[in-house]
């Protein structure tokens, strides 16, 4: 039976480290750990696992080899605004993908990252790990348009989809967010998948071994009082659960443009689905059901509910969050990312709602 289980953070962190180990390009699994956790105070130096050393790869002083508009360096716009390079995706390709410098061999090892700034100037870069020439170390994949904008905002999660041979990047931008697909060849082809995967504040995204895509959403809900005895008390810091865990089942795993079914996770407690209540954010925040859902060691049955099917609903852009609510999926508290449990056959995955809590889901 498919189930979701609440577990403590420390267990999941260990599993995440195991799941993130690379086997390509001479990078092996990290089998050691840091001596002890740093205290949450001041700015303590970064500590590496035993046997590993940190090495500066690039920073804002490195130029973009093909600058466009205000995008001229790796981590900072020409206006001085930081761009917050976010999740890194390491990819080893079979052949040289090409680049702006025709005839140059860009190598086989690359690090892709989205830059999470707003103002329609979020962008995607490719670090060419085999290139030593500083002038050609970083390639821009999303140039600006005639207005000097990329049209993207808050690019966050990223992954490589081996079934399509493309990279996927998420925009954590509420109902204006979504997923961007970029080819790994030069010049790159860039397209938004708003009519396939919907528009939502997506963050983590990962394919399974069948070409299905797992996506988690990070969208805060209505703020309510932290005092359940006084709805009008301040400060109003507690947020109504307003984010969903999605699975996209493509019609053709090798071509996402052909559509498929977007599903959302539904958890049942005491025989009833845990759902979003638009008219009662206070009740959702302080409900016994939410307490049970977030109690370590508990386990509840789950299922996937289809919230959009392109064969039925078409391929016009749609709001995935609204669709998930309409189909009685279960809202969570801003999941940041998700990872599959190694050795589980892609049937078990972990996702981490913002805060000190993690969930494990076993698919049927």
Report long-range pairs for 135-138 (Cβ below 8 Å, ≥24 apart): 135/63, 135/65, 136/65, 136/99, 136/101, 136/104, 136/106, 137/58, 137/62, 137/65, 138/58, 138/62, 138/63, 138/64, 138/65, 138/74
- Tell me the pLDDT band of 35, cut-offs 50, 70 and 90: confident
Task: Rank 37-51, 282-296, 318-332 by mean pLDDT and report only the highest.
Answer: 318-332
Residue bearing the bigger pLDDT, 20 or 100: 100
Q: How many CB atoms lie within 10 A of CB 288?
A: 9
41: pLDDT strictly greater than 90: no
Condensed to tens digits (0 to 9), the pLDDT of residues 313-323 reads 999 999 999 99
Condensed to tens digits (0 to 9), the pLDDT of residues 311-350 reads 999 999 999 999 999 999 999 999 988 999 999 999 999 9
Residue 6's pLDDT is 60
Least confident segment among 103-117, 163-177, 219-233: 219-233
Q: CA-based Rg of the chain, rounded to a whole angstrom? A: 21
Residue 7's pLDDT is 53
Q: Which positions ≥6 away from 10 have C-beta within 8 Å?
A: none
9: pLDDT strictly greater than 80: no
Residue 258 — φ and ψ, nearest 5°?
-80, -5
Whether 256 contacts 205, CB under 8 Å: no
Question: How far from the centroid of its chain's Cα atoms is residue 267's Cα?
Answer: 21
Query: What is the chain's mean pLDDT, rounded?
Result: 89
Tokens 């821009």 correspond to: 140
What mean pLDDT do residues 203-210 have? 96
Whether 72 contacts 63, CB under 8 Å: yes
Cis bond upstream, residue 16 (ω within 30): no
How far apart (Å, rounded) are the C-alpha atoms in residues 84 and 304? 34
What mean pLDDT do residues 258-281 have? 97
Residue 8's pLDDT is 42
Residue 17's pLDDT is 28
162: pLDDT strictly greater than 70: yes
45: pLDDT strictly greater than 70: yes
Whether 182 contacts 190, CB under 8 Å: yes
86: pLDDT strictly greater than 50: yes
Residue 36's pLDDT is 77
Residue 178's pLDDT is 98
Tokens 């809590």 correspond to: 357
Tokens 């078990």 correspond to: 348
Condensed to tens digits (0 to 9), the pLDDT of residues 244-265 reads 999 999 999 999 999 999 999 9
């Amino acid at each position: 039976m498919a189930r979701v289980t609440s577990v403590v953070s420390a267990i999941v962190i260990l599993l995440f480290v195991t799941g993130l180990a690379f086997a390509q390009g001479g990078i092996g699994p990290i089998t050691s750990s840091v001596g002890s956790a740093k205290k949450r105070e001041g700015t303590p130096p970064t500590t590496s696992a035993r046997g590993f050393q940190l090495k500066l790869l690039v920073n804002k002083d490195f130029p973009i080899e093909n600058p466009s508009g205000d995008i001229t360096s790796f981590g900072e716009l020409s206006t001085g605004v930081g761009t917050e390079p976010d999740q890194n995706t390491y990819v080893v390709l079979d052949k040289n993908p090409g680049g702006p410098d025709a005839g140059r061999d860009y190598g086989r090892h690359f690090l892709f990252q989205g830059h999470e700034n707003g103002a329609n100037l979020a962008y995607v870069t490719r670090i060419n790990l085999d290139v030593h020439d500083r002038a050609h170390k970083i390639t821009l994949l999303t140039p600006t348009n005639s207005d000097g904008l990329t049209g993207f905002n808050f690019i966050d999660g990223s992954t490589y989809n081996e079934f399509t041979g493309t990279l996927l990047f998420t925009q954590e931008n509420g109902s204006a967010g979504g997923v961007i697909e970029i080819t790994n060849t030069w010049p790159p082809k860039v397209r938004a998948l708003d009519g396939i995967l919907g528009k939502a504040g997506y963050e983590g995204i990962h394919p399974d071994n069948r070409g299905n895509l797992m996506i988690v959403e990070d969208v805060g809900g209505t703020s309510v009082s932290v005092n359940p005895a006084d709805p009008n008390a301040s400060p109003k810091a507690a947020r109504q659960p307003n984010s969903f865990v999605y699975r996209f089942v493509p019609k053709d795993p090798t071509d996402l443009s052909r559509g498929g079914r977007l599903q959302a996770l539904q958890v049942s407690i005491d025989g009833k689905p845990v759902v979003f209540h638009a008219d009662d954010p206070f009740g959702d925040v302080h409900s016994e059901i939410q307490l049970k859902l977030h109690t370590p060691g508990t386990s509840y049955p789950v299922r996937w509910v289809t919230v959009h099917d392109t064969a039925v609903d078409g391929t016009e852009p749609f709001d995935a969050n609204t669709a998930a609510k309409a189909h009685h999926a279960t809202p969570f508290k801003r999941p940041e990312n998700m990872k599959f449990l190694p050795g589980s056959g892609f049937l078990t995955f972990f996702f981490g709602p913002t805060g000190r809590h993690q969930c494990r889901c076993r698919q049927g």
